[in-house]
Amino acid sequence: MMKTTPSLRPAEVNKQWVLIDAEGLVLGRLAVIIANRLRGKHKPQFTPHVDCGDNVVVINAEKVQLTGHKLDQKIFYYHTGYPGGIKGRTVRQRLQGAHPGHLIEKAVERMITRGPLQRQQMKHLYVYAGDRHPHEGQQPQPLDVAALNRKNRRA
């Protein structure tokens, strides 16, 4: 019988590649699953202070869904750095903009504990607007998020 809790060392971490298709998935539920994969909480040897999560590739970020009227009513504010420079954009404007993947990145970033470990873990998230990605050489394993729970997919 083991009396100590095993703690993973950075050299012992086994990182895998996961491919997630975001088409039709609800943004918040998708972000939770991605954040747990990046942190490594799905693994039995999870260690909170070590980057033991997987590399996550998300495709079709522009086709992510939101529930309710958030598409037009939820506004993200940002500041330009100049006096009176506060601006706001709706979720629809951000999805139709030049970088629709930033919406998923920010949602995941806000779900991971802040600090140096968060910045290290966020480097393992790759979000692409279309259905093509340059990570075929790593042979990412597809993860069907819609099959995990019926509420994950928006009809």
Q: What 3-state class would DSSP assign to 130? A: coil
Classify residue 35 by burial, with Cβ atoms within 10 Å: 0-12, 13-18, 19+.
buried
What's the maximum distance between 2 C-alpha atoms anywhere in the chain? 64
Map tokens 């951000």 to a residue: 94
Give the pLDDT mean for 146-154.
Answer: 94
How many angstroms separate the CA atoms of 23 and 130, rounded? 10
At residue 4 the predicted structure's pLDDT band, cuts being 50, 70 and 90, is: confident
Mean pLDDT of 39-59: 95
Lowest mean pLDDT among 2-11, 37-46, 138-147: 2-11
In DSSP notation, 3-17 reads: -S-----GGG----E
Please report the pLDDT score of residue 72 as a whole number: 94
Q: Tell me, what's the pLDDT at 6?
A: 81
pLDDT exceeds 90 at position 49:
yes
Residue range 53-57: mean pLDDT, rounded: 97
pLDDT at 99 (0 to 100): 94
Residue 74 CA to residue 56 CA, distance in Å, equals 26
pLDDT-derived band at 80 (thresholds 50, 70, 90) equals very high
Strands 86-90, 17-21: pairing is unpaired
What's the pLDDT at 73?
Answer: 96
Calpha distance 151→149 (Å, rounded)? 5
pLDDT score, position 78: 93
Percent of the chain residues past pLDDT 70, beyond the cut: 99
Q: Count the neighbouring beta carbons within 10 Å of the beta carbon of residue 77.
A: 8
Position 5 pLDDT exceeds 90: no
- pTM for the full predicted model: 0.92
Which candidate, 109, 107, 123, 112, places its Cα nearest to that of 65?
Answer: 107
Instruction: Tell me the per-residue pLDDT of 90-106, one tens digit each, with 9 for 90 and over.
Output: 999 999 999 999 999 99
